[in-house]
Amino acid sequence: MRFWLCLCLLPAAAAAQPPKRILLITDAEGVAGICRQEQTEPTNPELRALLTGEINAAVEGFFEGGADEVIVWDGHDGSRTLSAQTIHPRARLMIGPVGYTGTLERGYAAIAFLGQHAMGNVQKGIMAHSFSSLGIQYMKINGRPVGEIGVWAALAGSWGIPVILLTGDQAAADELKALVPEAELAVVKEGLARYACISLSAEAAQQTIRRAAQRAVAKIGRIRPYRVEGPVTLEIEYTTRHSLNPDLAVLPGVEIVDDRTIRYQGRDLREAWQRYRVR
Ligand SMILES: [Zn+2]
């Protein structure tokens, strides 16, 4: 009898829904007003102000939309751009080269991208690249070209975590839309070429982002996680700056295709990704 009484006292929503905990993955090349390479230097004061302004607008929107917790990861170039001094007081800041899988294992209701750029080789993608503009030519999962957006989306999907929002340039937005059509998109600039763009003002970008973040939280539970099923081949073509480690060929699931190309096989995405990351 007392048992039933206890259950009745629990608010129905709290019992049914896990906390809305959001991981916000941040980068630099997709921030409004950032269009030249030297602006992406982590110590650049303009980048820091513009990026932090967009992050805080997103955090504000997430909480307005009903988020319980927001973790902001400083994902750009060595995790040296953001500061706890200026980050939104209700957000928590994750700093350092965190492993993708270790991070996602902590459990989130959703992930979101902010300041995101498109994958390498995309026309009109402002400073588009896949993980490393100097080191990697392209990356493919089961033959499909991917960059940070595709890899994060698929890894998160393997934990059942959906992508609910992307802010960045038009090319990055198009890239996520092809994978997760229901995700909210806040386009803050349009690429004319690799280093040429038409951008919103910081204020207009922040307003757009805040509204999109608010709408995105309402979609938690309705957006399907993006999943890559079955055995996975992760193929990476490095640039000529990269010297292949000849010992790689003896590792299980690793195939050296040519002087600059390696394939990592796995029974699923996580295994293929681990073989690449811990090589
Ligand atoms: Zn990036």
* Class of domain 19-34+41-218 as given by CATH: alpha beta
**132 Cα to the center of ligand 1, angstroms:** 7
**69 Cα to the center of ligand 1, angstroms:** 24
Sorted by where each begins, the domain ranges of the chain are 19-34+41-218, 232-277
pLDDT (0 to 100) of residue 8: 42
What's the pTM value of the predicted model, to 2 decimals?
Answer: 0.92
Query: Which tens digits make up the pLDDT trace of 164-211?
Result: 999 999 999 999 999 999 999 999 999 999 999 999 999 999 999 999
pLDDT (0 to 100) of residue 16: 66
Q: Read off the tokens for 126.
A: 């402002």
Is residue 89 classed exposed, middle or buried when 0-12, 13-18 and 19+ CB atoms within 10 A define those classes?
exposed
Asked if residue 56 has pLDDT above 60, the reply is yes
Asked if residue 13 has pLDDT above 60, the reply is no
**103 Cα to the center of ligand 1, angstroms:** 17
pLDDT-derived band at 15 (thresholds 50, 70, 90) equals low
Query: Which tens digits make up the pLDDT trace of 114-168?
Result: 999 999 999 999 999 999 888 899 999 999 999 999 999 999 999 999 999 999 9
Measured from the Cβ of residue 219, the count of other Cβ atoms closer than 10 Å reads: 16
Asked if residue 5 has pLDDT above 70, the reply is no
C-alpha pair distances (Å), 164 with each of 110, 143, 153, 188, 219? 6, 25, 10, 17, 7
Q: Read off the tokens for 245.
A: 């480690």
